[in-house]
Amino acid sequence: MSDAASPDITPAAAGAPATATAGGATQETTTVVEFTQVGKTYDTGYTAIKDVTFRVDDVPGHMEIVGILGPSGCGKSTVLRLIAGLTPQHPATTGIVKVMGKPVEAPGADRGFVFQDYTSFDHRTVEQNIAFGLECRGTPANERLELARDWIQKVGLDVKRDADKYPHELSGGMRQRVALARTLVLKPRVILMDEPFGALDPKTRYAMQDQLVALSREVQATVFLVTHSIEEAVYVGDRLFVFSNAPGTILQEMSIPAPDRPARVMQREPDFLDIVFSVRDLVEGLEMYDRAGT
C-alpha cells in the first residue's frame, strides 16, 4: 500500500460515536449505509431481525470495514442481503434501508457480494469469471480482458498459470480470490462479505484477510464482513457490530484499531489478543443473557 508511510489511521476510541469525522478536519461525510429500525419477518412468521438501526459514514480517505459478529441464525446474513437488495430478505418488513442516501430497491453492481459458498460460474474460466460484471456493463472486450488480468494479479493469482483455468481446477482459496477480484473489478461502493473465508485453512485465511484490507482500501469501498471468527472481525474491522440471537438486533457497536500490520503478525500481539478476549467475553455474555430468555 502506498499510504503505508502515513501515520496510523487513528481509530475512533471504543465507545465514541462512529460517525465522528476523522481527524477533526472539516471533511464532507456522506452516509454510505443507513438502517432505520429495520425488521424482517418472513411469511412463515419467523422474525430474523428486529429494530436494527445503524449508520456507516464515508469519510474520504478512511474506508471503513465493519465486522459483524453474533451467534448463528442471528440475522447477520439478513442484514447483508438487505443491503444488497436480494430476495427473499429484501424488502424489509419494517424500517428503511438506505445506501448512499437512497432506499434500496434491487441488487446492483455498486454493492458487491462475496458469498461463503463458492459461486464461480462453472462454465467460465477465471478470466471470464472476473470479467462477468464488466460484460454485463458493456465494457469492450479488450478493455475488460485487460482489467480482468490486472485483477487476477492483484488478488495474488498468476495470469499465465490461472487465467484460463476453470473453477473446478481451483482450490477453495483460489476460488475466493476469483470471487473477490470479480467483485472489486467493478469498483463497488460497498462490499458485502458473508463468511467468505469460513472454509479456508488458517494460512490462506490470513493471506486473504490482508488482501481484503489492502484491496478494499485501494478501491475505496466500505466493507461489511460477517464472520464467526472473532479474531478475523477484530483484525479486519474498524468497527464491530455484535448481534444478539433471533430476532437479531445490534446489541453492541464498538470501534477498534484498524489493521496496520500483516494478519499473521498482528493477530499474535498481546494488545490484539486483549481486544479479542474482551470481545469474546462480551459475545459470550450476550449469548448467556440471550439464553436466559430475557
Partner 1 sequence: MAPLPLLALRATPSLPVRQAAGGVAIVLVLLAWYLLTSGATPEARAISPSVFPSPGEVIKGFPSLVTERNLVGGIAASLNRVFLGFGLALLVAIPLGIVAGSFRLFGAAAQPISLFGRTIPVAALLPLSLQMFGIGELQKVMFIFLATAPFIFHDTARAIVGVEDRYVDTARTLGASSSHVMAKVLIPLALPDIYAMIRAMFGIAFGYIMLAEVVDAGAGLGYILLQSQRRGMPEHLVGTLFVISALAYGIDALFRFFERGFFPYRRSHE
- Buried b or exposed e, range 44-65, using 16+ CB within 10 angstroms: eeeebbbebebebbbbeebbbb
Q: Residue 274 CB, nearest distance to partner 1 (Å)? A: 36
Q: Residue 164 CB, nearest distance to partner 1 (Å)? A: 11
Binds partner 1 (CB under 8 A): choice among 82, 192, 215, 233: 192
Strand partners, 204: none
Site string for partner 1, 11-40 (x = CB under 8 A): ------------------------------
- Tell how far CA 31 is from the center of its chain: 17
Q: Residue 114 CB, nearest distance to partner 1 (Å)? A: 9
Site string for partner 1, 122-141 (x = CB under 8 A): xx--------xx-xxx----
Using a 10 angstrom Cβ sphere, with 0-12 exposed, 13-18 middle and 19 or more buried, the burial of residue 100 is middle
- Closest C-alpha among 136, 130, 121, 100 to residue 221: 100
Site string for partner 1, 144-173 (x = CB under 8 A): ----------------------xxx-----
Do the beta carbons of residue 56 and residue 31 sit within 8 Å?
A: yes
Binds partner 1 (CB under 8 A): choice among 115, 199, 246, 278: 115
Which is closer to partner 1, CB of 61 or CB of 108? 108
* 107 sits in which H/E element: none
Do the beta carbons of residue 65 and residue 236 sit within 8 Å?
A: yes
Residue 102 touches partner 1, criterion: CB under 8 A: no
Binds partner 1 (CB under 8 A): choice among 78, 183, 229, 245: 183
Binds partner 1 (CB under 8 A): choice among 35, 64, 113, 180: 113
Q: How many residues bind partner 1 (CB under 8 A)?
A: 28
Q: Residue 104 CB, nearest distance to partner 1 (Å)? A: 12
All three cell numbers of 119: 459461486
Q: Residue 144 CB, nearest distance to partner 1 (Å)? A: 12
What is the sign of the dihedral through the CA atoms of 52, 109, 18 and 58? negative
Using a 10 angstrom Cβ sphere, with 0-12 exposed, 13-18 middle and 19 or more buried, the burial of residue 134 is buried
- Closest C-alpha among 54, 68, 58, 61 to residue 10: 61
Residue 78 touches partner 1, criterion: CB under 8 A: no
Binding site for partner 1 (CB under 8 A): 84-86, 106-109, 111-113, 115, 117, 119, 121-123, 132-133, 135-137, 166-168, 182-183, 186, 192
